[in-house]
Chain A
Amino acid sequence: MTMLWLCLRFPHLAREAIAGHQADPRVQREALERLAAWAYQWSSLISCAADEPLLWLELGASCMLFDGHAALLARIEAELVQLGYSHICALAPSPTAAALLTRASGQRQVLTRTQLRQRLDCLPLHLLALPASTLAALHASGLRRIGQLLELPAAAIARRFEPETQLYLQRLCAQASDPRPAWRLSETYRARCEFGSDVRTSTALLFPLQRLLLEFQGYLRARDCSVQRFTLEFEHYRHPVSRMSIGLSAAGRDAAQFLILVRERLHSLLLPAPVNALRLQALEFTSPAIVQADLFGSDAQPLQQLQRLLDRLHARLGESSVHALQRHADHRPERGWRLAAPQAAAASCDHSAAPDTDAPARPCWLLPEAMAIDAPPELLRGPERIESGWWDQDDVRRDYYLARTGEGAQVWVFRDRRDGAWYLQGLWA
């Protein structure tokens, strides 16, 4: 699958940290952590930069869900504006390139490698994230634009510079794998937001509170769960923290609803001193979150209804009539999935099964058993070689192809490399 990386740069976070209210890089780190949790609702592959205010979101897998990248980007940016973060965003087929484009001016969205290469060609050399000594050496040899450097033979670059230089350039052009440490959603939510200065009135607390709650809402959406209780803590200089526990009669995940409750409570909360930081903490979550209460009427309890339905289906169709699906790590396509108990699925709030965007495409329909066919239909793409299973006496050696039948159906076929026979295994429905 084509990866498409969105890189978000938050220049303001860096400035806040540098300007010296809080020289502590922890402020930047905490903000990035909150933003990563918030961003998880758009993409299940998120990465934070270690030393820069940068966040990467892999959007290739999510684009389809949100009407393509332009619509998705518009939604992400609209929420960032609502959250009140100034940001620069760039889209590129590699995270290295996306990060570079956030430093460039002009067009910051390139979708394909070809576009990327064209865009890089005219950008100045100093945008490259290479050591100053390397940049100086390149400059001294008369190079000014990235394109000039990319035109040099690889051997020449390898000879003159550290091996990292070559790797960096390949990653920049999306020609080498560019792995990023994946940021993981944590099981509990703890966010902290430190202010540049003391906040003395509860009205002035509302803006950072709203931001904190919106980020929290993003986390809840990403985990697809809701919350019935969370805690807010107000940190003071030389005073113990003030604590506020917010409870809801029914679990929810609507930041606006949370804010209304918090605001009500703020009226009666006596703060002993100015506030210099806020914390939000939630330890227990309700899942699955079927939270559109208005869809079901006020008396409806969808989870119970689901449970009652499962009971009825079991009673009439048999105990094994209802299943959920799981992926299973096995290279043999017919073993790449499993049935799971519906209750377990209903209770899970597990997003570890995130889309694997690097994996080759698979068809939505799989035949229960691969079907022998006489001759291959028109082959469109392939082969993808799958060899696996020697350890359990069920080894396969196959070449898979995308193919098209006479009726225009797109099928997934393979040739058994042991005897050359052709099989139909899936349909691209």
Chain B
Amino acid sequence: MGALTLDQLARLHHDGEWRRGRHQAAPSGFAELDASLPGGGWPVGAIAELMPEAAGIGELSLLLPALSRLARAGRYIAWIAPPYLPYAPALAQRGLPLQRLLIIRTRNLQESLWAAEQALRCPAFGAVLSWPSTIADKNVRRLQLAAEAGGSLGILYRPPEAAREHSPAALRLRLRAATDGLLVDIHKCRGGRADLRLQLSVRAIPHLAHDDAVAVPAFSAPGA
């Protein structure tokens, strides 16, 4: 091997930041995003916060390639108190092995945080997704430590207002709908560049190939 280029050195440094020498990043499947994240992907062994402007803009599709990879490598994905039903036919259609998904129901926020911490600490899990309505700094830090111990990727979906608060999460992304994909604002990125805006071709509606797109036929609303 020859000498390292500056780029490679920078990347090594970033890798170290992410994983403190132990965990690798999980490629997101979106080249532009990976290029902006230290280690080239989601921060394994850490917490990432996703703050979508609304539900249904591609906030899950952004994660699916990484989740599929982790699940196909044999690791489990925990969904802790998701706000809607993760729809099995759709997830299978998008390539997720259903037998690797575990849905955990909780009765309150406290139980959700406890379950998230337990799952993050368990090395059998590749990723743990949760949707806390609100979460204090110290709890994010707790989850961060659990993720580090278990070597899994912790994803917190948070409301857009959370962007105004500080958080110890390693990565914080704001998500907005774009005409053809998803606008991602890197709000915070430990070991990387923040205040970046990316437009990703996240397809929430899969396989809309151009020659298959069907026009909405003429349509009359009832009573119109």
Point out residues on A near B: beta carbons under 8 Å. Answer: 1-2, 60-62, 64-65, 67, 111-114, 224, 288-292, 295-297, 300, 302-303, 305-306, 309, 312-313, 316-317, 320-328, 333, 336-339, 342, 345-346, 348, 350-351, 353, 355-357, 359, 361-368, 375-376, 379-383, 401-402, 405, 407-411, 415, 420-421, 426-429
Contact status A355-B95, CB under 8 Å: yes
Contact status A428-B105, CB under 8 Å: no
Contact status A409-B105, CB under 8 Å: no
Contacts of B207 in A (CB 8 A): 1-2, 60, 361
SS of B interface (majority): loop
Of the listed residues B60, B83, B87, B92, the one surrounded by the most CB atoms of chain A closer than 10 A to its CB is B87
Q: List 23 A-B contacts (CB under 8 A).
A: A61-B95, A64-B94, A64-B95, A65-B29, A65-B69, A65-B95, A111-B209, A290-B74, A297-B123, A313-B104, A316-B114, A317-B105, A317-B106, A317-B107, A328-B88, A339-B103, A345-B98, A348-B99, A364-B94, A367-B85, A407-B53, A410-B57, A410-B177
B43 an interface residue at 8 Å Cβ cutoff? no
Contacts of A295 in B (CB 8 A): 123, 151
Q: Tell me the bound Cα distance from A300 to B124 in angstroms.
A: 10
Chain A residue at minimum C-beta to C-beta distance from B91 = A364
Contact status A306-B122, CB under 8 Å: yes
CB distance from A368 to the nearest CB of B (A): 6
Contact status B88-A410, CB under 8 Å: no
Contact status A224-B97, CB under 8 Å: yes
Q: Tell me the bound Cα distance from A345 to B53 in angstroms.
A: 34
CB distance from B1 to the nearest CB of A (A): 21
Contacts of A353 in B (CB 8 A): 92, 98
Contacts of B107 in A (CB 8 A): 317
Contact status B87-A364, CB under 8 Å: yes
Contact status A361-B205, CB under 8 Å: yes
Contacts of A333 in B (CB 8 A): 87, 89
Contact status A65-B102, CB under 8 Å: no
CB distance from B76 to the nearest CB of A (A): 7
Q: Tell me the bound Cα distance from A156 to B86 in angstroms.
A: 51
Contacts of B92 in A (CB 8 A): 327, 353, 355-356
Interface digits, B181-224 against A, CB 8 Å rule (1 contact, 0 not)? 00000000000000000000000111111111111110101110
Contact status B87-A1, CB under 8 Å: no
CB distance from B222 to the nearest CB of A (A): 3
Contacts of A339 in B (CB 8 A): 103
Contacts of A112 in B (CB 8 A): 209-211
B55 an interface residue at 8 Å Cβ cutoff? yes
Contact status A367-B84, CB under 8 Å: yes
Contact status A337-B104, CB under 8 Å: no
Contact of A428 among B58, B124, B212 (CB under 8 A): B58
B9 an interface residue at 8 Å Cβ cutoff? no
Chain A residue at minimum C-beta to C-beta distance from B105 = A321
Contact status A429-B104, CB under 8 Å: no
Contact status A303-B124, CB under 8 Å: yes
Give the top 6 A-B pairs by smallest Cβ distance, nearest first.
A408-B177, A420-B222, A427-B56, A409-B56, A337-B88, A2-B209
Question: Given A224-B72, A296-B123, A407-B177, A337 and B89 touching (CB < 8 A)?
Answer: yes
Q: Tell me the bound Cα distance from A374 to B73 in angstroms.
A: 45
B68 an interface residue at 8 Å Cβ cutoff? yes
Contact of A336 among B89, B213, B217 (CB under 8 A): B89
Known contacts A316-B114, A348-B99, A420-B222, then 7 further A-B pairs from the complex at CB < 8 Å, ordered by chain A residue: A112-B211, A306-B124, A321-B106, A327-B88, A345-B99, A365-B56, A379-B219
Question: Given A305-B124, A428-B205, A64 and B65 touching (CB < 8 A)?
Answer: yes
Chain B residue at minimum C-beta to C-beta distance from A300 = B123
Q: Which of B166-192 contact A (CB under 8 A)?
A: 176-178
Contact status B85-A368, CB under 8 Å: yes
Contact status A302-B124, CB under 8 Å: yes
B35 an interface residue at 8 Å Cβ cutoff? no
B109 an interface residue at 8 Å Cβ cutoff? no
Contacts of B85 in A (CB 8 A): 337, 365-368
Question: Given A365-B87, A408-B54, A359 and B93 touching (CB < 8 A)?
Answer: yes
